[in-house]
Amino acid sequence: MRILYILFFSLTFSLSVYSQDGLIDRAKKISDEMTEVLSLDAETSEKIYHIQLKRFIDAQKIRTSFKSDKAIMRTELRKLQNRLWGKLNAVLGEDKMKSWSTHKKKQV
């Protein structure tokens, strides 16, 4: 029985670490794309990376917490998206945010 607990704990821990790596990769990908498209300096790029990483971690928590209530989950994710745009706007400014928005619309 003790081995079963150790196995379960190890599996849970490894999935959590793998999940975090996925979030880190996604945040890195977006910040790299924003850096390239908007010609950002290293300091601004690092700020964008941390904002994106926090966004993905918070979104994961929201999806886990409100898994059973999709309406509340959508509302909370919308609030998170609004906070994201506010933070990005504070770091980048309106002109670069408009450029980013235009770039994203062209991709769709």
Task: Evaluate whether residue 29 is within a structural domain.
Answer: yes
Task: Evaluate whether residue 63 is within a structural domain.
Answer: yes
What mean pLDDT do residues 10-38 have? 77
What mean pLDDT do residues 73-81 have? 95
Overall domain count for the chain? 1
Q: Please, are residues 10 and 23 in contact by the beta-carbon 8 Å criterion?
A: no
- pLDDT of amino acid 17: 45
Q: Which range of residues forms the domain containing residue 89?
A: 19-107
Task: Evaluate whether residue 14 is within a structural domain.
Answer: no
Whether the per-residue pLDDT at 19 is higher than 90: the answer is no
What mean pLDDT do residues 20-47 have? 91
Whether the per-residue pLDDT at 85 is higher than 70: the answer is yes
- pLDDT of amino acid 107: 80
What mean pLDDT do residues 65-86 have? 94
What is the token pair recorded at 62?
């929201």
* Prediction pTM value: 0.76
